Amino acid sequence: MRKLLGMTAVAAILGMASYAQAADLKMSHVRPQGATIDVELRAFADEIKSATGGDVNIEIFPASALGDYTTVQERVSVGMVDMATQPVATGVDRRMQISSLPYLVTNWEQAQKVYGRGGILHNTMQELYAEQDITMLAAYPVYFGGISLNVDPINPGDPSKSNGIKVRVPGIKAFQLEGEALGYIPSPLPFSEAFSAIQIGVVDGVMGSGAEGYYASFRDVTKSYIPANTHFEVWYMLISNESLNQLDADDVAVLEKAAEAFETKRWEVAQQDQAKWEKRLADELGTNVVKLTDEQLAAMSAKVQKEVWPEILNDLGQEWGQAILDKVSQQ
C-alpha cells in the first residue's frame, strides 16, 4: 500500500511539473481573420505546438482584438500580452521611427539587405525592442506602402502641388511630415479608427499601409490606390521576455528556429504578394490603381528626403540616426 501511495504521489508530482512547463501564449495581429498574416501565423502556431509536443500553444487574436498595436506593444513590454506580429509603435521610443523612415530603401533587393537578418535595421530593431523587455523573434516584410483614397486623386504624381485631400496617417511623426511633403493634409488616427473615419468623411483616405492592407481592411472605402512607395512596411514578431523566460531551453530553441524559417519564407514571397494585392484591388474591386513613372517616384523620394529626413533625424538624435543611414547606404 505504501509503495502504491508513493508511486501515486510521484505521478502526481510529475504531472504537476509537466503542467507547469506547458505554456499557453496569446499572439496579437492587426489584420482580419483569414488575411494573409492570419493564415501564416496559424500555420506557425500549429508548427510550434507539434514541434514542442504540445508544450507551447499559441492562440491567435486577429483584428486588434487585444488592443490597437500601439497599446499591444506596451502590453507585451510588461507581460500583459505574450506575443504580437505587428507594425512598430514609436510612443515609448522615438528612435523606432527609423524602421518606417520614408524612402529609406527603393527596391526589394536593398530592402532585404537592410531589414533582413544581419541587416542594420534588423539588428537595430532587435536592440530597441530589447530595451523594452521584448525579444524580437523575426522581421516580417509586408510591402512598399501607398495611399488609399475614397475620392479621385489630384496631382498624384506631383509632390510640388497641394491637393487638399485629408488622409489618416499613423501617430508617427515621419508619416505626418511625409503626408505634408507629398501634398496631403495628414490626420493622425489609430489604425482601429481609420475605417469609420473614412466612412463618415472625417478623412478622405489612408496613408501608412499598402495594397494588401487596404484590401484587407479598407476595400469598401478604397476608390483609388496610389502605389507611391511611401515607406517599406515591416512588421516584427515579438514576445514578452516574461513569457519567453517561462519556456524551457528546448522550447525556446524550437520557437527561435521556427521564427527564423517564418521570416525566410516571407522574404521569398513578399514581392509577388504585393503585386497580387495590387491586381486584386483593380480586378475585383474596380479600384483605380494609379500608374506612376520612375521620374514621379524619384521626385517624391527627393522631396521627402530633403524636407522630412532632417526633422526626423533631429527627433531620433542626429548622430545616432545618421550612423544608421550611413550603414544603409553601404548595404
Angle between helices 309-316 and 173-181 (to 10 degrees): 170
Rounded to whole angstroms, the Cα distance separating 84 from 20 reads: 23
> Is residue 5 over pLDDT 50?
no
Rounded to whole angstroms, the Cα distance separating 213 from 215 reads: 5
Summarize pLDDT for 161-185 with one digit per residue, the tens. 999 999 999 988 999 999 999 999 9
> Which candidate, 64, 66, 47, 65, places its Cα nearest to that of 56?
47
Summarize pLDDT for 28-41 with one digit per residue, the tens. 999 999 999 999 99
> Is residue 260 over pLDDT 60?
yes
Summarize pLDDT for 274-331 with one digit per residue, the tens. 999 999 999 999 999 999 999 999 999 999 999 999 999 999 999 999 999 999 998 8
User: Of all residues in the chain, what percent carry a pLDDT higher than 70?
Assistant: 94
Q: What are the angstrom distances between the C-alpha of 217 and each of 141, 148, 211, 281, 297?
A: 18, 11, 10, 12, 25
Burial track 182-210 (b if 16+ CB lie within 10 A, e otherwise): bbbebbebbbbebeebbeeeebbbbbbbb
pLDDT score at 192 = 84
pLDDT score at 21 = 60
Radius of gyration of the chain (CA): 22
- Worst-scoring range by mean pLDDT, 4-18, 47-61, 147-161, 225-239? 4-18
pTM for the model stands at 0.88
pLDDT score at 22 = 82
Contact residues for 42 (Cβ-Cβ < 8 A; gap 6+): 60
Rounded to whole angstroms, the Cα distance separating 259 from 144 reads: 22
> Is residue 79 over pLDDT 90?
yes
Q: Tell me the sheet residues that pair with 226.
A: 147
Q: Tell me the sheet residues that pair with 32.
A: none
Contact residues for 112 (Cβ-Cβ < 8 A; gap 6+): 119, 141, 267
Summarize pLDDT for 81-104 with one digit per residue, the tens. 999 999 999 999 999 999 999 999
14 vs 260, more confident = 260
> Is residue 131 over pLDDT 90?
yes
Rounded to whole angstroms, the Cα distance separating 37 from 35 reads: 6
> Which candidate, 198, 162, 200, 206, places its Cα nearest to that of 182?
162
